[in-house]
Amino acid sequence: MALTTMCARDVGTTAVLRARSAVREIGIIALLYVGYSAARTLADGRLGPALVRAADIAHLEQMLHVPGELELNRFLTMHGWLGLAADYWYASAHYVVTGLVLIWLFRRGQDVYVPARRALAVATIVALGFYLTIPTAPPRMLPGFTDVMALHSDIGWWGSDASAPKGLGGMTNELAAFPSMHAGWALWVALGIWSATRSKLLRGAGVAYALLTGIVVIATANHWIVDVVVGQLIVLAVWFGVTHHRRRTTTVPVASEDPLRETQAA
């Protein structure tokens, strides 16, 4: 009876500790996101310099013979239903999928969750530095491109100001094209899944999500290809930096040469 009571007490204590940890993590993520969103609005809002940077990126891609965004953008414009699906993906997936994977990693254990959360936070802060110092216009602001989201804003829940909900356009920074953290966060999702499971199905889903998100942000004319590549490189560099640092600082206890003596000493 006493043993049963002790076990029940331990289970209850563990549940309380996990609940407290979950609440703390929710608070940390919420504060990070609010701070990130608020800081983005502090960026230089002058359109002229941002358009010049966008034109420079377009010129760079032409010099490197990178396949143009214009073809993908025209394809979505010509196929309305596909464009609408891409709009919903762009406006929603990076919130929903990133949040669900964070919760899933938390439930998988601290060994996979903590470095993943740190990598997400650090990569996002690095990207914020770019948004504040070199605001860059997306392709949809240049001649020849169609703003696919604005094209379907009467159907979706977003307005004509990027992916912000209707009436909240002033709370978003439309000159935050470089780098693309839609693409960066999508790669983070893939890396998080790979670190936490050996399931080929889940790993494949993570890779497919990252690839499809990259295509969507380009085809909707919200990001340049360079934006996508740089956003993913930031996440990749931070991810390996964080995980490498964690491996170096994690000490493995040295096994005692005489377990019996260690037990008696305890």
Interval 117-168: pLDDT, tens:
999 999 999 999 999 899 999 999 999 999 998 888 888 666 656 655 555 5
- pTM for this predicted structure: 0.81
pLDDT of residue 1: 55
Find, among 150, 166, 159, the residue nearest to 77 by Cα: 150
What are the Cα distances from residue 28, in Å, to 23, 32, 99, 201?
A: 9, 6, 13, 30
pLDDT of residue 254: 42
| Cα-to-chain-centroid distance, residue 220 | 18
pLDDT of residue 44: 73
Low-confidence ranges of the chain (pLDDT < 50): 3, 6-8, 11, 252-266
